[in-house]
């Protein structure tokens, strides 16, 4: 297999970075990649080499899209100020966003998915009068102390009195063998119910279930039939709310506007982020009017940099581009080609155990000879793809999955070229 040539300038830049940021700051790849420019679905390194970006969902409409750049520059050159002045652009963005979601009325803007999720959790707690939040046991929703406590929270973890986890639902490695789809869904719902009951028993009460509708960080598992519907019924019977974290699933990623549409879920509160600003920090928490206004009355929340004229202008431009350039349809069509191609390849290599996902969000799961999760071949494939000009990463509960999540305008020809590169890497590694 080809290797990345040694570049002393990279080593020097890493040392400078460690000195400026503090050692321990994460970088992709054993030999880090120094990117200097992006255009469309491509990024370019300092030496001028072009890569196909198969990973980054923040520039959802493509890197440096001219309409986004124009909107950003024009608004910044005109006015960008505090949200406590009247300005039309952020108001219109809230109207457009909630109209697209169909299940929400009002929006609270912020600057990151972490902030949006924290607002969602506090909103649910205020609305229900309870504090308890349930998540899956291999999730990620953000970085601060409150939201970060959800990350990979174990089912038996009692270090956070108001948080509980249950096993994420999946069919590949079910929590009980030999069950039918309906029985397996019931088994996972029972574990969800046990988490809710535990919160009620310790005095926290139950405010909400939070989940990414497509369970992105769990590895896009195939969920037992009926689970979502049964889970919603249980949550509602327990007087809780459903928070959909659409930071990764939303904005057309699945070939539909929202991940909750892809799985048949109707949330009470929706958190969005990353792709909303195509690189500009922009996030939102949306819900029905009584939830939003109840939160505002209780907290008097504001965010200096949120609901700004700049956020409004850029957020509107992103929606306009997605709608006018057919990018969501493209995600559905190109994603189907990629998934079919990778699934066909799973028949050729035993180490490639499964291919899952929808639209332009896919994972390829790798295992060892015994069928157990194996991170080594996944990491090797990611490195091999980088050497052939395609950027991916690893993900999943066991870090044994190649994560494929490109900008939505990925052309068919680049998808086919990725499949060819995948074949070459697999032949190098496994013959």
Q: Which of 341, 419, 423 is nearest to 52 (CA)?
A: 419
The average confidence (pLDDT) of the chain is 96
Calculate the CA 164 to chain-centre distance: 21
Structure confidence at residue 302 (pLDDT): 87
Instruction: Show the tokens assigned to 157.
Output: 């973890």
Note the pLDDT tens digit of each residue in 52-90: 999 999 999 999 999 999 999 999 999 999 999 999 999
Q: What are the phi and psi torsion angles at 294 (to 5°)?
A: -65, -40
Structure confidence at residue 278 (pLDDT): 97
Structure confidence at residue 430 (pLDDT): 85
Structure confidence at residue 300 (pLDDT): 86
What gap in Å lies between CA 256 and CA 322, rounded to an integer?
11
What gap in Å lies between CA 389 and CA 49, rounded to an integer?
8
Q: Give how far Cα 283 sits from Cα of 91, 94, 205, 209, 382, Å.
A: 14, 11, 28, 20, 29
Structure confidence at residue 171 (pLDDT): 96
In the three-class reduction of DSSP (H, G, I as helix; E, B as strand; rest coil), residue 425 is classed as helix
What gap in Å lies between CA 180 and CA 227, rounded to an integer?
12
Strand-pair category, 50-53 with 269-272: unpaired
Answer whether 295's CB lies under 8 Å from 121's CB. Answer: no
Note the pLDDT tens digit of each residue in 19-28: 999 998 899 9
Structure confidence at residue 3 (pLDDT): 61
Structure confidence at residue 5 (pLDDT): 61
Q: For residue 6, give the DSSP letter.
A: P
Answer whether 401's CB lies under 8 Å from 395's CB. Answer: yes
List of the chain residues with pLDDT < 70? 1-6
Strand-pair category, 50-53 with 352-358: unpaired
């Amino acid at each position: 297999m080809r290797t990345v040539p040694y570049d002393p300038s990279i080593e020097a830049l890493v040392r400078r970075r460690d000195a400026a940021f503090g050692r321990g700051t994460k970088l992709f790849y054993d030999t880090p990649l120094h990117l200097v420019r992006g255009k469309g679905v491509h990024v370019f390194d300092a030496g001028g080499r072009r890569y196909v970006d198969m990973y980054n969902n923040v520039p959802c409409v493509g890197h440096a899209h001219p309409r986004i750049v124009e909107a950003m520059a024009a608004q910044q050159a005109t006015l960008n100020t505090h949200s406590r002045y009247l300005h039309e652009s952020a108001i219109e963005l809230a109207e457009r966003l909630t109209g697209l979601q169909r299940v929400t009325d009002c929006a609270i803007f912020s600057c990151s998915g972490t902030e949006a999720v924290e607002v969602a959790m506090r909103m649910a707690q205020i609305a229900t009068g309870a504090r308890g939040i349930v998540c899956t046991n291999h999730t990620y929703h953000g970085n601060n102390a409150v939201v970060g406590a959800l990350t990979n929270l174990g089912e038996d973890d009692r270090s956070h009195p108001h948080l509980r986890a249950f096993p994420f639902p999946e069919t590949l490695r079910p929590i009980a063998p030999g069950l039918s789809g309906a029985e397996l869904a019931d088994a996972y719902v029972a574990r969800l119910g046990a988490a809710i009951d535990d919160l009620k028993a310790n005095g926290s009460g139950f405010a909400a279930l939070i989940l990414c509708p497509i369970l992105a960080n769990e590895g896009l598992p195939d969920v037992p039939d009926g689970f979502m519907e049964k889970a919603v019924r249980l949550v509602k019977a327990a007087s809780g709310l459903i928070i959909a974290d659409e930071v990764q699933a939303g904005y057309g990623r699945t070939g539909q506007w929202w991940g909750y549409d892809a799985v048949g879920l109707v949330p009470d509160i929706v958190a969005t982020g990353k792709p909303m600003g195509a690189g500009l920090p922009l996030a939102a928490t949306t819900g029905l009017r009584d939830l939003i206004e109840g939160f505002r009355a209780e907290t008097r929340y504001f965010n200096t940099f949120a609901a700004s004229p700049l956020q409004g202008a850029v957020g509107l431009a992103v929606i306009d581009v997605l709608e006018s350039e057919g990018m969501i349809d493209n995600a559905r069509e190109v994603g189907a080609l990629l998934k079919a191609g990778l699934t066909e390849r799973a028949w050729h290599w035993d180490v490639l155990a499964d291919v899952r996902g929808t639209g332009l969000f896919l994972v390829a799961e790798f295992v060892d000879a015994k069928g157990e999760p194996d991170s080594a071949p996944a990491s090797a494939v990611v490195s091999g793809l980088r050497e052939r000009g395609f950027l991916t990463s690893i993900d999943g509960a066991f870090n044994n999955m190649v994560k494929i999540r490109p900008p939505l305008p990925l052309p068919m020809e680049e998808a086919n070229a990725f499949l060819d590169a995948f074949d070459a890497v697999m032949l190098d590694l496994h013959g």
